[in-house]
Amino acid sequence: MTPEPITPLAPRPAGRTVFTQDWLQLTFVHWAVDPELVAPHLPSGVQPDTFDGATYIGLIPFQMRRIGLFGTPGVPYFGSFLETNVRLYGVDQQGRRGVVFCSLEASRLATVAVTRGTVGLHYVWSRMELHRDGDRIEYRSQRRWPGPRGAATHVAARIGAPVAPTPLDLFLTSRWGLFLPDRSGTTRYWPNEHPAWPLREATLEHLDDGLVAAAGFPGVAAGEPVSVRFSEGVRTRFGPRQR
């Protein structure tokens, strides 16, 4: 089935609230790659989603804040931490577009343990830092557990002016769910809703990354990214998982 056009508004309601969270101070770094490179890394029933014949690998460091369950106020300590993810973009047979996470670094060990044991998201515990001085932002992450120990990233970017989203920006950021296999191996779609991303120009000042290679894509991060954007963030609401 041909996927529906990417729009800045969520194309489907997420349903009742399962949890909420804030995604703040994000830098989106993306490389264009051949779809055949990422296809083996996607779960069953999901194929690479493409834009002008290419698909994309994303490196996104940011601040997670106040995860709340079933509409309750967010948890200030366990629900707030730094995160960096390496992600892919897929589409299923129903035309639903979503994110596929290759890895998720988090600075809170308790959160890593809980999510790995219950949700099925394979977070890894990392030593992480975020520093912002005016229009300059810097992220550092070094993996602790479960490994490979020492896998690290260092991203520094200069934040520019607000931008109207391009078609590529919408393709990369208007993702209203994620694909995640359950314990039986069946791929589920986990929908979310949030406002359109307020995007800003961003220029990389430094990139030294080993997380993309550790996710199974050696050499990709050594190339020039095709897109770098920054966002102050959005408030997000997740609904129940869907078949």
Residue 45: CB atoms within 10 A of its CB come to 15
Task: Specify if 1 maps to a domain.
Answer: no
Task: Specify if 157 maps to a domain.
Answer: yes
pLDDT in tens, 99-138: 999 999 999 888 787 777 667 788 899 999 999 999 999 9
Task: Specify if 3 maps to a domain.
Answer: no
pLDDT in tens, 32-71: 999 999 999 999 999 999 999 999 999 999 999 978 776 6
Task: Specify if 203 maps to a domain.
Answer: yes
Structural domains counted in the chain? 1
Mean pLDDT computed over 81-91:
97
Task: Specify if 24 maps to a domain.
Answer: yes
Domain extent, residue 209, equals: 19-238
Task: Specify if 14 maps to a domain.
Answer: no
Tell me which H or E stretch contains 171: helix 167-173
Query: Residue 107 and residue 139: Cα distance in Å, rounded?
Result: 12
Task: Specify if 172 maps to a domain.
Answer: yes
Collapsed DSSP state (helix, strand, coil) of residue 170: helix
Residue 86: CATH number of its domain = 2.40.400.10
pLDDT in tens, 137-165: 999 999 998 878 889 999 999 999 999 99
Task: Specify if 201 maps to a domain.
Answer: yes
The angle at the Cα of 70, spanning 66 to 76, to the nearest 5 degrees, equals: 20
Q: What mean pLDDT value characterizes the chain?
A: 91
Longest CA span, the chain? 47
Ramachandran region of residue 195, left (φ > 0), alpha (ψ -120 to 50) or beta? beta
CA distances from 93 to 10, 79, 105, 152, 196 (A): 18, 33, 29, 35, 25
Query: Tell me, what's the pLDDT at 200?
Result: 98
